[in-house]
A = this chain, B = another copy of it.
Amino acid sequence: MKAYDQQSRLLVAVDCIIFGFKEGKLNLLLIRRDFEPRRGEWSLMGGFLKEDESLDDAAARVLKELTGLTEVYLEQFRAFGEVNRDEAERTVSVGYYALVEQPVVDKQLSRDYAAHWVSVDDIPPLVFDHREMVAAALRRLRHRATHEPVGFELLPEKFTITQLQALYEGIFGTSIDAGNFRRRLRKMDYLERLAEKDTSGSRKGAWYYQFKSERYAAAKSEGSDFLLKP
C-alpha cells in the first residue's frame, strides 16, 4: 500500500483552456510553444506546479502570466494522466478552464507570447493531448452554463438579452427561440435591468442587464435552480 519512500516523484502541470466570446463566436486562446519539444506548435497555456502553490494557485498564476488578468472565472475540470501524454517526460496535467471577457484580454495581451484567438469550431492541430483537453473543457462548459450562471463571465458587466442569447447559441452551436429565451430570463430576479440602453445594435435600442451574484446566492439558498438550455 501507500508508503512515502521509494515512490516516483513526477512533474505536475496545469493547463488552461481559455474561453472568450466575440461577434457571436465562442473562441479559445492558444499560444505557440516557445520551447522544446514541439517549439512553435499550437498549444494551450500551461505551466508546472511549484512546491509552494496549490493547483488553483498555479492555474491562476499561469493565466495571469499570459493575459495579465487576475479576477477571472477559473475551474478545474479534470486531471490527465496517460503515461505518454507528454513526450518529453512523464507529466500529469490538471486541466482548468477560464472564462474571460475577450475584448478586455485583447487590450492586455502581451505580444510576446504569440497568443491568438481561434474559434472553437475551427481549432488547429495542438500538441500532446491538448485537443482532448479542449473537448473535455467544452463539454464541461456547456454543462455548467446550463446549470449555473457562469456564462455571464464571458460578457461585460452590462449586457443585453440579445447578446446573452448569442452567447448561448455560440456555446452550444444551436439557435434558440428568442421569445422563450427571454421569458426564462424574466423569471430570474437576480438579473437586474438597468436604466440604460445599448443603441448600437438597433434603432429601438436594447436594455442593459446586470447579473447580481448576491441575489443569485440568495435565490439558490432558497432552493431555486438555474437552468438555461438551448
- Chain A residues close to B by CB (< 8 Å): 1-4, 7-13, 33-35, 46-56, 58, 65, 76, 78-83, 88-90, 92, 94, 113
Question: Using Cβ atoms and an 8 Å threshold, which residues of chain B touch A1?
Answer: 34-35, 47, 65, 113
Question: Using Cβ atoms and an 8 Å threshold, which residues of chain B touch A8?
Answer: 48-51
Q: Is the CB of A10 within 8 A of B12?
A: yes
Question: What is the CA–CA distance of A42 and B99 in the complex, to the nearest angstrom?
Answer: 39
Question: Using Cβ atoms and an 8 Å threshold, which residues of chain B touch A83?
Answer: 51-54
- Minimum C-beta distance from A126 to chain B (A): 14
Q: Contacts A9-B9, A12-B10, A51-B8: A46 and B2 contacting too (C-beta < 8 A)?
A: yes
Question: Using Cβ atoms and an 8 Å threshold, which residues of chain B touch A65?
Answer: 1
- Minimum C-beta distance from A172 to chain B (A): 14
Q: Is the CB of B35 within 8 A of A55?
A: no
Question: What is the CA–CA distance of A83 and B58 in the complex, to the nearest angstrom?
Answer: 11
Question: What is the CA–CA distance of A8 and B49 in the complex, to the nearest angstrom?
Answer: 8
- Minimum C-beta distance from A73 to chain B (A): 17
Question: Using Cβ atoms and an 8 Å threshold, which residues of chain B touch A55?
Answer: 79-82, 92
Q: Is the CB of A13 within 8 A of B9?
A: no
- Minimum C-beta distance from A1 to chain B (A): 6
Question: What is the CA–CA distance of A35 and B78 in the complex, to the nearest angstrom?
Answer: 29
Question: What is the CA–CA distance of A80 and B88 in the complex, to the nearest angstrom?
Answer: 25
Question: Using Cβ atoms and an 8 Å threshold, which residues of chain B touch A54?
Answer: 81-83
**Which among B11, B52, B53, B94 is the interface contact of A9 at CB below 8 angstroms?**
B11
Q: Is the CB of A3 within 8 A of B35?
A: yes
Question: Using Cβ atoms and an 8 Å threshold, which residues of chain B touch A4?
Answer: 11, 88-89
Closest to A35 in B: B3
Further pairs besides A9-B10, A49-B81: 18, Cβ < 8 Å: A1-B35, A1-B65, A2-B47, A3-B35, A4-B88, A7-B48, A8-B49, A12-B92, A51-B83, A52-B83, A53-B83, A55-B79, A55-B82, A76-B78, A79-B79, A79-B94, A81-B94, A92-B92
